Amino acid sequence: MTEIMKTMLSRRSMLGAGIAAAGVLAMPAILRAQEKSLKVGVYGGYFKKSFDEHIFPEFTKATGITVESVAEPTGEAWLVQLEQAAKAGQAPADLSMMSQTSTLKGQSTELWQPLDSAKFKHYGDLLPQFINKYPDGRVAGIGAVAWYITLVTNTNVYKEAPKSWDALWDTANADKLGLLALASNSFLLEVTAKTFMGGTNALDTDEGIDKAFAKLAEVKPNVRLWYRDEAQFEQALKSGEIPMGQYYHDVTGLAAKDGQPVRSTFPKEGGIQDSGNWVLSRASKKVDEAHAFIDYMSQPAVQGLMSRKVGTAPTLKREVLDLKPEEFAAVSSDIAPIIPRYDLYVSKADAINQKWTELIVG
């Protein structure tokens, strides 16, 4: 259990990584003229550790390009650092792992060098949500890591797994739910739209968003905990104190494997799929190396390795993967995912945040 908690805290809270990043940046880069190298920014903590251990050495073996990994700070701090460095012609990292929202924000200042899709052998096998494009069609980013947030339950309290996200609205579940505390990390507006309004396209208009908020307000009496800290909910879920909620599929699976009375269910409307992209700073000169890296990372074998060793959902179509059914089920599902409307958290960020805060606090 402590291992899972560590994993979760370090993987997604990533506090303190900023300090680590500053330390790495301050170190002089060891460069040998004839050797090809690439600086890759990855989320500090769990991701950086797993990549350093399982992925980067294999890449160097396969291509001869050495990787210097840089721990990225959480949130948008890294985006701002990249942007300011790029203005001065510097790239603290050539490639970075970047959240979908930050990728879109970087697009607005042309921070990302367009990528040449012809250089990626498995470009055609990528799932469409893992190709991030500029409005004019140039490729801005390629999926790096993905994970699912699903409907989780305590098996002692719920003998039968719920089938749909509408369980959150069931009045029988009053005061029993644990949900993420922010619009932009719980993606509950998207869940509402998919479950009751025919799909996330219903959020295209302000009226649609208002309707989703009104529907979501009905969930409020069922919520016992709006959590920011994952350990807080995970503990309560295991003990049955808060027997239902939304949580990370991979971590819940690991807890169940440890014998905890928890289960993760992909509702019939789909799990929520969140992800990050590989993006190339416009100040980087390592264009060829960066393409080689993304090409390597997008191979079925490497995606399989990532799913097994890092616990991420594959970015490629299932047919090309070598994952066994149980390995695939541990990180993903065949049910089409709910893909968050990241564009809303760029174009209407403050308005949605304000309504959300008033909804849950008011």
Partner 1 sequence: MRREPARALADYTPLFFPALMLIVFFVVPFSIMIAVSFFKRNPAGFYTPDFVFDNYARFLTAFFGSVLGFSLLLAILVAVCCVVIAFPFTYLLTKRSRAVQTLWLVGLLSVLSLSEVIIGFAWSTLFSRTAGITNLFVAIGLMKEPVALLPSFWAVLTGMVYQALPYTILVLYPALVRLDPTLLEAARTLGASPVRAFFNVVTPALRNTIVATLIMVFVFALGSYLLPQILGRPSNWTLSVLITDQAIYQSNMPFAAAMAVFLVLISLALVGLTLLVGRKENAL
Q: Report the distance separating Cα 344 and Cα 335, nearest Å.
A: 24
Nearest-approach distance from CB 83 to partner 1, in angstroms: 6
Nearest-approach distance from CB 223 to partner 1, in angstroms: 9
* Residue 337 exposure: Cα atoms within 13 Å on the Cβ side: 25
Q: Report the distance separating Cα 230 and Cα 242, nearest Å.
A: 13
Nearest-approach distance from CB 106 to partner 1, in angstroms: 9
CB closer to partner 1, 93 vs 290: 93
Q: E strands along 120-230, which residues?
A: 131-133, 139-154, 177-180, 223-227
| CB-neighbour burial class of residue 32 (10 A; exposed 0-12, middle 13-18, buried 19+) | exposed
Distances (CA, A) of 36 to 184, 236, 283, 291, 297: 38, 49, 17, 13, 17
CB 54 within 8 A of CB 23: no
CB closer to partner 1, 99 vs 275: 99
CB closer to partner 1, 90 vs 109: 109
CB closer to partner 1, 129 vs 184: 184
CB closer to partner 1, 78 vs 266: 78
Q: Report the distance separating Cα 108 and Cα 89, nearest Å.
A: 18
Q: Report the distance separating Cα 149 and Cα 185, nearest Å.
A: 10
Nearest-approach distance from CB 115 to partner 1, in angstroms: 21
Nearest-approach distance from CB 207 to partner 1, in angstroms: 22
Nearest-approach distance from CB 285 to partner 1, in angstroms: 24
Phi, psi of 246 (to 5 degrees): -110, 140
Interface positions with partner 1 (CB under 8 A): 75-76, 79-80, 83, 105, 108-109, 181-182, 184-185, 224-226, 228-229, 232, 236, 239-241, 346-347, 349-350, 353-354, 357-358, 360-362
